[in-house]
């Protein structure tokens, strides 16, 4: 088993405390105390995750954290007190040793990998938890913050990575988690707040000695105009991957809030003066990402303003028809996520339409408890939970489709059509091809769109596959092709996928 995250994978992000544990409490969504989700609880729910089809779990940090501050506990575990042992609150003794030694996390990784599940550990080098400054040398901290982004993050004690003692401490700490915690994939928190010097040491020492350890950076730039700043971390600091927040923004603004697909996603390339969409920045020859296919793509997470279903409900409120449209556009977003380039990441609960949003800077509602009451013994939502069941089955089928199709995992993207309402593209791999058409309008196409298969752009062998081998991923209907033109009509707010291997 390759333990490193690759383009074969589907990542499932878990806020551990909110997921499952033997002693877990389900409290009010605004409650900011620790609810009791544990790593043991994740192990107990591996069957559910395997049924969904995900291949990799990303867990929030496991360091020993500070205690309660007023009414708030560090349920997210991003407020470390120490970095060299685990927090006892993340263990309930049912599946793992209750020792807080780093090796206990190594046991967690071993159990997951034995079930075919890779693990990504969330790590922090930027800051300590509130009140934890006295645990460290006082000269280790910035006064007022530093790094690429000035200022302390939310008032947290900010480490100065221009100090060689700080760099040396964290390089050795990361090495311990790799050697004794069996860490092979790191999601690094708040990357843009860390002085750039640290990444030079990281790629010299950690990547040199542990070349099989992958580094995924959280660099929270969300706009398409920010791509130039974002890609530096992959191109110059040698991150294996970064999170594609601009594509996340683009999918939300277009598929939910009805902005132009041509302006946000990809231009039609009719002339050189068109403003580029997010996917037009993929070309490294033109100053784009070193490898856009390795970006981690997403629809929502624990830091953004709202979960994707809450955005959909904002646009389409009410029950009845409003809920139907919200489910439809959420499914459209998921369809785009699993057919576009990159490594898809799901936020826990998105697959059952879980909602959540920030409120006055409070993130707790974004980290609601997973609704295990809707899941049956077969690891599917129970029939009476119609919304949850529909989104779950759609997500599961998309995951299975992606896993079966090389074009969706590895393929080059070729735009065939782009306008305000329609985006059509090919994914081409060596021996595979998939055609994807998005209709973002509120009405079905009145007549089929005609997509030319231009032999100046598309290899002839691929055209032959398109002409004779592609079927609709759900209905099995053959793709209609006349000469070198595809004819297809797509329903409102719908994604149609034609491929050689169905879900």
Residue 149 is predicted with a pLDDT of 47
Extents of the domains making up the chain = 11-409, 412-499
Contact 140, 125 (CB under 8 A): no
Residue 49 is predicted with a pLDDT of 98
Residue 1 is predicted with a pLDDT of 82
Contact 258, 438 (CB under 8 A): no
Cα separation, 62 vs 58, whole angstroms: 12
Cα separation, 4 vs 185, whole angstroms: 6
∠ Cα 261 262 265 (to 5°): 60
pTM over 0.95: yes
Residue 304 is predicted with a pLDDT of 96
∠ Cα 259 261 263 (to 5°): 80
Tokens of 293: 């296919």
309 Ramachandran zone, left/alpha/beta (phi>0; psi -120 to 50): alpha
Rounded to 5 degrees, φ, ψ at 245 are -65, -35
C-alpha atoms less than 13 angstroms from C-alpha of 270 in its C-beta half-sphere = 5
Cα separation, 155 vs 127, whole angstroms: 10
Residue 461's contacts (CB-CB under 8 Å, 6 or more residues apart) are none
CATH number of this structure's domain 412-499, picked from the four choices 3.40.50.10490, 1.25.40.10, 3.90.1150.10, 2.60.40.1180: 2.60.40.1180
Tokens of 455: 């032999």
Interhelix angle for 102-114 vs 164-181, to 10°? Answer: 50
**What is the torsion angle, in degrees rounded to the nearest 10, for the CA atoms of residue 283, residue 285, residue 288 and residue 290?**
90
DSSP string, 98-120: S--SHHHHHHHHHHHHHTT-EEE
Quickly list H helices, 316-434: 321-339, 386-404, 406-410
Residue 153 is predicted with a pLDDT of 83
Rounded to 5 degrees, φ, ψ at 163 are -90, 120
What digits encode the pLDDT tens for the residues 139-169?
999 985 444 444 568 899 999 999 999 999 9
DSSP lists the bridge partners of residue 306 as: 357
Inter-CA distances, 221 with 75, 100, 192, 248, Å: 25, 35, 9, 11
Closest to 108 in 3D by CA, of 94, 89, 95: 95
SS3 annotation, 321-352: HHHHHHHHHHHHHHHHHHHCCCEEEEECCHHH
Cα separation, 55 vs 338, whole angstroms: 14
Q: Using the 8-state DSSP alphabet, how is residue 414 labeled?
A: E
DSSP lists the bridge partners of residue 412 as: 428
Helix (H, G, I), strand (E, B) or coil at 419: coil
DSSP string, 47-98: HHHHHHT--EEEE---B-B---BTTB--TT--SBS-SSSB-GGG--SSSS-S
Q: 467: how many CB neighbours lie within 10 A of its CB?
A: 15
Which residue numbers in the chain have pLDDT < 70?
A: 144-152, 270-271, 503
> So what's the architecture of 11-409 in CATH?
Alpha-Beta Barrel (3.20)
Inter-CA distances, 426 with 40, 334, 411, 418, 478, Å: 42, 18, 8, 12, 16
Tokens of 493: 């707010």
């Amino acid at each position: 088993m390759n333990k490193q995250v690759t383009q074969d994978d589907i990542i499932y992000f878990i806020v551990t405390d909110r997921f499952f544990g033997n002693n877990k409490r389900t409290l009010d969504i605004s409650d900011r105390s620790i609810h009791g989700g544990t790593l043991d609880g994740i192990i107990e729910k591996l069957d559910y995750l395997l049924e969904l089809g995900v291949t990799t779990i990303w867990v929030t940090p496991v360091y020993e954290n500070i205690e309660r501050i007023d009414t708030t506990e560090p349920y997210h575990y991003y407020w470390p007190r120490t970095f060299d042992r685990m927090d006892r609150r993340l263990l309930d003794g049912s599946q793992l040793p209750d020792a807080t030694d780093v090796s206990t996390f190594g046991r967690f990784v071993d159990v997951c990998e034995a079930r075919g599940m890779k693990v990504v550990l969330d790590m922090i080098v930027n800051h300590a938890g509130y009140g934890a400054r006295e645990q460290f040398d006082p000269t280790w901290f910035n006064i007022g913050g530093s790094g690429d982004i000035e200022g302390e993050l939310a008032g947290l004690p900010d480490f100065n990575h221009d100090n060689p003692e700080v760099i040396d401490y964290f390089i050795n700490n990361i090495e311990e988690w790799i050697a004794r915690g069996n860490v092979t994939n790191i999601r690094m928190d708040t990357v843009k707040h860390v002085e750039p010097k640290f990444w030079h040491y990281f790629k010299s020492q950690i990547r040199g000695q542990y070349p099989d350890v992958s580094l995924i950076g959280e660099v929270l730039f969300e706009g398409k105009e920010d791509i130039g700043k974002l890609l530096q971390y992959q191109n110059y600091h040698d991150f294996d991957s970064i999170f594609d927040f601009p594509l996340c923004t683009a999918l939300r603004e277009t598929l939910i809030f009805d902005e132009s697909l041509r302006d946000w996603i990809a231009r039609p390339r009719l002339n050189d003066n068109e403003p580029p969409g997010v996917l037009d920045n993929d070309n490294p020859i033109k100053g784009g990402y070193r490898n856009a296919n390795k970006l981690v793509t997403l629809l929502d997470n624990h830091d953004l303003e709202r979960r994707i279903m809450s955005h959909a409900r904002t646009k389409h409120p009410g029950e009845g028809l409003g809920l139907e449209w919200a489910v439809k556009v959420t499914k459209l977003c998921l369809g785009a996520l699993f057919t576009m380039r990159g490594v898809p990441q799901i936020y826990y609960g998105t697959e059952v339409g879980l909602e959540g949003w920030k409120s006055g800077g409070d993130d707790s509602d974004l980290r609601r408890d997973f609704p295990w009451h809707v899941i049956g013994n077969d690891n599917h939502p129970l029939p009476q939970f119609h919304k949850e069941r529909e989104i779950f089955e759609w997500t599961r089928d998309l995951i299975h489709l992606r896993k079966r199709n090389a074009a969706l995992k590895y393929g080059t993207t070729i735009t065939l059509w782009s306008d305000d309402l329609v985006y059509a593209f090919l994914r081409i791999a060596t021996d595979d091809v998939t055609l994807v058409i998005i209709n973002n309008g509120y009405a079905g196409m009145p007549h089929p769109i005609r997509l030319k298969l231009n032999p100046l752009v598309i290899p002839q062998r691929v055209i032959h596959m398109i002409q004779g081998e592609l079927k609709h991923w759900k209905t099995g209907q053959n793709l209609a092709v006349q000469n070198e033109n595809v004819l297809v009509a797509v329903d409102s707010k719908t994604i149609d996928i034609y491929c050689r291997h169905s879900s």
